[in-house]
Amino acid sequence: MSPLLIAALVALAPPIPPPASQPPPSGRSLELIDQLKELHRQGSSVTGERDLLQAHHELLGLFWSSIAADGDQELPDVTLLGPGERFKACGGAPASNAYCPQSAELGIDHRGLLRRLRLQSNPSLELSALTVLAHEWGHHVNQAISQGPFDGKEEDAADWRAGRYLGWLIYQQVLPVEDFTEAANILFRIGDYHQLSPHGYPLSRFRAFIKGVRRQLPPGSQVGSWTMDTEETFSQVVDQNPGEPWVDTTLKVYRFEIERGSQIAGNLFKVALGALNCGFGSGRACAGSLMSQGQAKPDGWFRLRTMRLNCHNGMFDIQGDGIARQRISRDRKGQAQRIAQRICSTSAVSAKPWEDDDVSPLP
């Protein structure tokens, strides 16, 4: 078999199957998967957001009771409340993006959520509601079963379980990669929706979410026309000529990036405000300013960019990232190395320049 054919077969390899201990969906769960594929395709403007959330709510119950390897068939029911409703327990608090363990109720109300999160993109309302729903369901499963690998870290554990469910949805082709990246962006920016636990640091919560996704969708998986290169990157070949390796291959890539400029600026502003309050304001204002210093959040999101990769000279470039063209081995996220291993045939180059240096660990 020729090296070119081998390279093509690797690139077109089927998805990596889920863990053997996790049964494939059947019966009602399979019906819901087919229903949700259509609901997501049409959008809430046609189907109604409540219908979509109710279908996901039912499927989440089936996933955590009978599909997930660590599920529990005796998982208690949880009631989904809508906008404007209040919990029966938890002091009758509004059921707004929160979970009440005393009454086993959770409420989803996305109104104003996207505006508060200040996202770089504009995801759909139903996707935002689904992301919060998966997170709040995580609190319910944590309460009923365990916090998984995040013992004592309730928010991280809920994000991990949200990643488990959304990763499974991708594998079932209910969610496309584009929607998944938007959901990850939402979870990075999301506030504390669990009224009984402290606010979590965005990067640690994002990594918990990605760890959950990896449990259901390991790197190397094929998702439609996209390949999950690493746990934080996806790629799709746009233009390639294997017979001319000296010509750049063009790819669309999703890469999770963290921008700390706004975080630094926010913390500097709070320092200045603290100095003013402590110098001229009340003691309470001074104490409040001191408590808030250092708490500005970094911005993080999946960016869609264009990558150009050259199998002949072992160089790559990502347009718009402000970094000059560099060796494939220098990609700190490990994406360029994995793409090269997949698409660069052994006959096209005499050596593998992307393997000359060690891959730096992911930041």
pLDDT averaged per 10 residues, the chain (length 363): 40 45 84 91 63 93 95 95 92 91 91 60 74 94 95 93 95 91 79 48 84 91 92 93 85 84 36 43 45 47 92 92 92 94 66 50 39
CA angle 102, 159, 113 (to 5 degrees): 80
163 contact partners, CB below 8 Å, separation of at least 6: 208, 209, 210, 211, 212, 213, 214, 215, 216
Alpha-carbon span 106 to 184, nearest angstrom: 21
* The dihedral formed by the CA atoms of 84, 105, 164 and 47, expressed in degrees to the nearest 10: -40
Q: What is the pLDDT of residue 23?
A: 77
* Neighbouring-strand partners of residue 299: 259
Residues 198 and 233 in one domain: no
197 lies in some domain: yes
Same domain, 55 and 187: yes
- Where do we find the tokens 């409040």? 288
Give the helix/strand (H/E) hosting 98: strand 98-100
Answer for the pair 223, 233: CB distance below 8 angstroms, yes or no: no
Domain total in the chain:
2
Domain interval for residue 251: 229-260+298-355
pTM of the entire structure? 0.76
Q: Are residues 206 and 239 in the same domain?
A: no
What's the pLDDT at 182? 84
Whether 140 and 237 map to the same domain: the answer is no
Helix, coil or strand: residue 84: coil
- Please check whether residues 200 and 233 belong to one and the same domain: no
Task: Judge if 123 and 41 occupy the same domain.
Answer: yes
Model pLDDT, residue 199: 52
pLDDT of residue 54: 93
Provide the pLDDT for residue 119: 53
Domain boundary among 193, 218, 243: 218
| Contact predicate 147/198, CB 8 Å | no
Structure tokens at 348: 């096209």
- Decide if 44 is inside a domain: yes
